[in-house]
A and B are shown apart, each in its own frame.
Chain A
Amino acid sequence: MRYAMAIDTAKCVGCGDCVVACQTENNVPHGYCRDWIVENVTGSYPNVQIELRSERCNHCDNAPCVRCCPTGASHIVEGGIVLVTHNECIGCGACIESCPYDARYPHPDGYVDKCTFCKHRVDKGQNPACVDVCPTHCLHFGDLDDPNSDVSKALKNRKWKVLAPEAGTKPQLFFLT
């Protein structure tokens, strides 16, 4: 079982719904966010292109944050979701330094926090909050090992890319182009 997410950049309008839904679902403190939108503009008027990406922790297969955690608070659970056990985390910040996607942040309560793929929802067979709220249906989630899952179907027919592949982290967030 390997959970992953596909983001369809042809549909994303950069509205930020995924950001707010995650904040209300997971009680994220103000000023912090577990996911965010990046806009990339290239070209010159009138030959312009933009790409809008909804980004979050990539739950990498070869997660540097898990490797460098001195206490084992950063760990991978079944399905490939990378989590942080709050009362094992000492707040050293090594994992924040090691993430090429800047996906982690120090929570005001002391431990390090990030996107959890809404594990509390996934365990019940639901999608993460961001996926379920997106009005353009551009987020696809599911089990890569299941050919009938939403994410597998999305990846089958489209070209996709990952962010910073040269970092060697084997990220599980795929951007459909």
Chain B
Amino acid sequence: MKEELFVSGRNIPNIDPYLHIWHWQIPLYLYLGGLAAGILFFASYYVIVGKEKQMQTTVKWATIIAPIALILGLGALFWDLKHKLYFWQLYTTVRFTSPMSWGAWTLMAITPMSIIWVASYMREMFPKWDWKFEFLKKFEAWVIKNRVPFAWVMMALSIILGVYTGILLSAFNARPLWNTSILGPLFLTSGFSTGLAAIIWLSKDEHERKALSRIDLIFILVELFLIIHLFMGFLASSEVKAEAASLFLGGEFTVIFWVFVVILGLVFPVILESLELRGYHIPAWLPPFLVLLGGLVLRFVMVEAGQITRFLY
């Protein structure tokens, strides 16, 4: 029988017996970040390919969610800090080895941009809207004129944002569950998929919804593919990784992951959306709701379970 234990009474709050430094704020932020990234990506994409008129919701209405999500996410992040008064130190330096630093700066760039994006469509969405000040009206005109380059920049930033939510975790290779390069693409795909789901839910345009559903279907299938490979990778890897995987294959996270994230969050939406594309009548809100739920639970489970896994003891 093997025993490994602390004999000097070590019992640090939130570290022993299992690490629990990040609570709900971080997974919420990752989720909202991914969601915003997805929405902004497709908004910029359709502007660039000139399909703005056909994809009104994508480009205009759904983007309102983005800044709200980003600000809420940033709020959650700020709340999680333990040394809040010094949060501004984040913005005194750029550290290329720290994904958290990229994240801070990317958010610093994309949040105002998303606000500007929405602001530039305000008069199209709410005809009575009036920018009171002259310089704002000038600014609006400038943005509308340069919408395509603006969209390129935003598309690039949204990809970085989406990938960053996954790379943030995979940079911590001390947590075996996160120590995989699949996490970045997985969270990116998930973020895009949830973004699409949000747009589909909001959209009233049949044509737009069909187009986006097709794309969403592909993303969900990619996500399933990545998840399967994630687990295959863990099981084939070192002991700590196999132990990490076992949390999901018989351990405490088995039910919540496979039921809520995979079956309800991925498999059901695939089936429902395929049926819808074939002409069956499905309640319009159901597939997007499941996708959104699945994405949220995925983030929570990964952050929670990841902190439980460890190299030693």
State if A and B touch, Cβ cutoff 8 Å. Answer: yes
A interface residues (Cβ-Cβ under 8 A, vs B): 14, 16, 19, 31-33, 36-42, 44, 52, 64, 67-73, 87-94, 96-102, 105-106, 109-112, 163-164, 166-168
B89 contacts A41, C-beta separation under 8 Å: no
B interface residues (Cβ-Cβ under 8 A, vs A): 1-16, 19, 21-22, 80-87, 89-90, 92-93, 95, 97-101, 103-104, 171-175, 238, 307, 310-313
Question: Chain A nearest CB: distance from B161 CB in Å?
Answer: 16
B174 contacts A90, C-beta separation under 8 Å: no
Known contacts A31-B12, A36-B6; 5 further A-B pairs (Cβ under 8 A)? A19-B8, A68-B100, A92-B100, A94-B98, A102-B16
B8 contacts A91, C-beta separation under 8 Å: no
The one of B11, B14, B82, B103 that contacts A110, using a Cβ cutoff of 8 Å: B82
Question: Chain A nearest CB: distance from B6 CB in Å?
Answer: 6
A101 contacts B312, C-beta separation under 8 Å: yes
Question: Chain B nearest CB: distance from A116 CB in Å?
Answer: 17
A68 contacts B98, C-beta separation under 8 Å: yes
A sample of 30 cross-chain residue pairs with beta-carbon separation below 8 angstroms, ordered by A number, consists of A33-B9, A33-B10, A38-B6, A38-B7, A39-B4, A40-B2, A41-B4, A67-B97, A68-B97, A68-B100, A69-B100, A70-B104, A71-B89, A88-B89, A93-B21, A96-B21, A97-B174, A99-B174, A100-B173, A100-B174, A100-B311, A101-B312, A102-B312, A102-B313, A106-B82, A109-B83, A110-B82, A110-B83, A111-B82, A166-B238
A100 contacts B100, C-beta separation under 8 Å: no
Known contacts A40-B3, A68-B99; decide if A91 and B19 are in contact (CB<8 Å).
no
B83 contacts A100, C-beta separation under 8 Å: no
